[in-house]
Amino acid sequence: MTPFSVLVMGGSLGALDALHEILPRISQNFSAALIIVLHREKEESGGLMPLLIRNCAVPIGFPEDKDSILAGHIYVAPPNYHLLIEEDHFAYSMDEPEDYARPSIDALFESAAERYKNRVTGIVLTGMRQDGARGLAAIKGHNGEAIVQSPLEAIGDGMPLAALRAVPNAKVLTLREIAEFVASF
């Protein structure tokens, strides 16, 4: 069995809309594991999951502590915890927010890079501030692939710009291209 690819994706402002572009394109033959961290206000969190689930052809949900990471699944970080990868499963922490965020994109990306090395693709979507930049650099440092949503079309260009400062040779894609890329697995 060839090891599956691990896609880690993070964003904040505007990223929920981005997911509605990306997730419906994923077919039931999806062969990677996709792990998503979004920063969001508490009020949103109730409404987010049902919408995503309805639009999804593969199993999607909040992982529980120590759940295995499986190909063909989409995992979403629940609010208020950092979601980490440890060996072949998920781990949680309630450490303080990083860059004002919990879940932190950096925390997920860094732990994914350390575990899955060149099997990881990190994708930084639209968003404010700079969470994700350090994590994307860690992914690149472990020979993974780095993708950044084009700051020109991103609703929040803070995150894409910070990610490009940290990883100048990251691939810059439009949201449509990112959706096609993810769906190609």
Partner 1 sequence: MNEEDQQSVEVSTEIDLEDIEVRLLLEAIYQRWGYDFRDYAPISLKRRILRIVEIEKVQSISALQEQILRDSSLMQRFLNQLMVSVTSMFRDPHFYLSFRKLVMPLLKEKQQLRIWHAGCASGEEVYSMLILLHEEGIIDRVRIYATDLDQTGLDKARQGIYSIDSIKEYTENFQAAGGKTPFSNYYYSGHGNAVMRRDLSENVVWAQHNLVTDASFNEFDVIFCRNVLIYFNEKLQDRVHKLLHDSLTEDGILILGRQESLRLTSHVPNYSALDRREKIYQRIQ
Contact set with partner 1 (CB under 8 A):
62-66, 78, 80-82, 84-86, 91-97, 102, 107, 111, 114, 117-118, 141-143
In this structure, the number of other CB atoms found within 10 A of the CB of residue 94 comes to: 8
Quote the least distance from Cβ 91 to partner 1, whole Å. 5
**Residue of 5, 12, 104, 111 with catalytic role:** 12
In degrees and rounded to multiples of 5, residue 59 shows phi and psi of -60, 135
Dihedral-angle region of residue 136 (phi above 0 means left; psi in -120 to 50 means alpha; beta otherwise) = alpha
Task: Tell me whether residue 67 or residue 177 sits nearer to partner 1 (CB atom).
Answer: 67
C-alpha dihedral, 41 to 45 to 49 to 52, nearest 10°: -20
**Residue of 39, 82, 99, 106 with catalytic role:** 39
Quote the least distance from Cβ 5 to partner 1, whole Å. 17
Task: Tell me whether residue 50 or residue 152 sits nearer to partner 1 (CB atom).
Answer: 50
Q: DSSP labels for 9-73?
A: EEE-TTHHHHHHHHGGG--TT--SEEEEEE---HHHHHHHHHHHHHT-SS-EEPPPTTPBP-TTE
39 as an active site residue: the answer is: yes
142 as an active site residue: the answer is: no
Task: Tell me whether residue 47 or residue 176 sits nearer to partner 1 (CB atom).
Answer: 47
Quote the least distance from Cβ 123 to partner 1, whole Å. 21
Quote the least distance from Cβ 6 to partner 1, whole Å. 15
Q: Looking at the DSSP assignment, which residues form a beta bridge with residue 152?
A: none
Cα 6 from chain centroid (whole Å): 10
Task: Tell me whether residue 84 or residue 182 sits nearer to partner 1 (CB atom).
Answer: 84
User: Is there a contact between 174 and 149 (Cβ–Cβ < 8 Å)?
Assistant: yes
Residues 6 or more apart whose CB falls under 8 angstroms from that of 49 comprise 61, 62, 76
Task: Tell me whether residue 30 or residue 92 sits nearer to partner 1 (CB atom).
Answer: 92
Quote the least distance from Cβ 93 to partner 1, whole Å. 4
**Residue of 82, 99, 106, 131 with catalytic role:** 131
131 as an active site residue: the answer is: yes
Q: Which residues are catalytic?
A: 12, 39, 131
